[in-house]
């Protein structure tokens, strides 16, 4: 029986995407899946679907703060959340970062996983900027990219090729029904199955006939 293709549409501005990303990285060694990372732009998804950031509702923001702290501990992912993070998200555009990740996806895919992880680490663990060119290059250095490779990818972010690829991936996520991130799409039994959020991975396992062993399977 072939491997089930599982696509993860994500944006590094989303802490829940990081949780889902790490758990799926663990499960790609356990489940019979072909995990594919699909960097997309959360801002574009929100705009095109008419969605609003959940933290704009004060009571929900209050809950999310506690929720992400609990989930970070449970999932064993170093998301460090504080009350002013919602303002930080609204003040930060992830467009340049996601274009940079897209450029690496198109040219040096072997760096896609460590690079994405370092963007989350910088923004969500170290609370540092990921939007400015010098900070994007710092993230790339941490992920093990050479200065030459990083500079080339940075130059690519203003190219129509990279811009179009990111737009296309974002449009694809919306086509599957995504309205936020992470959006996980499992291609099983001849059709795509969309799962929204990092807390639906147990359900994903159930649908594709795989056993859930918790967020940190041993």
Catalytic machinery residues: 14
Instruction: Report CA-CA distances (Å) from 82 to 98, 129, 168.
Output: 24, 15, 33
Q: Collapse the DSSP code of 9 into the 3-class scheme (helix H, G, I; strand E, B; otherwise coil) and give the result.
A: strand
Please give the structure tokens belonging to residue 21.
């990303």
Give counts: helices (H), strands (E), the chain.
Answer: 10, 4
Between the alpha carbon of residue 92 and those of residues 65, 102, 155, 207, the distances in Å are: 18, 18, 21, 36
Strand order in the sheet with 33-39: 33-39, 4-10, 183-188, 191-196
How far is 180 from 39, CA to CA, in rounded Å?
13
| Cα-based torsion angle of the residue sequence 104, 110, 112, 114 in order, rounded to the nearest 10 degrees | -130
Beta bridge partners of 52: none
HSE-CB at 157 with a 13 A cutoff on CA atoms is: 19
């Amino acid at each position: 029986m072939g491997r089930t293709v599982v696509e993860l549409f994500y944006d590094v501005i989303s802490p829940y995407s990081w949780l889902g990303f790490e758990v799926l990285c663990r499960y790609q060694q356990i489940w019979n899946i072909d995990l594919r990372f699909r960097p997309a732009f959360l801002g574009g998804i929100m705009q095109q679907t008419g969605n609003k950031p959940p933290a704009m509702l004060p009571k929900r923001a209050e809950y999310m703060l506690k929720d992400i702290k609990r989930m970070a501990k449970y999932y064993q992912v170093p998301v460090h959340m504080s009350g002013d993070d919602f303002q930080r998200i609204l003040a930060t555009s992830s467009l340049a970062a996601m274009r940079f990740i897209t450029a690496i996806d198109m040219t040096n895919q072997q760096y896609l996983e460590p690079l994405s992880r370092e963007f989350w680490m910088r923004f969500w663990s170290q609370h540092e900027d990921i939007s400015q060119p010098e900070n994007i290059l710092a993230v790339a250095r941490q992920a093990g990219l050479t200065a030459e490779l990083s500079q080339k990818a940075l130059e690519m972010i203003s190219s129509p090729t990279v811009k179009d690829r990111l737009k296309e991936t974002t449009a694809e996520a919306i086509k599957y029904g995504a309205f936020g991130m992470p959006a996980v799409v499992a291609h099983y039994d001849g059709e795509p199955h969309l799962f929204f959020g990092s807390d639906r991975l147990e359900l994903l396992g159930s649908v594709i006939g795989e056993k859930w062993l918790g967020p940190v399977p041993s």
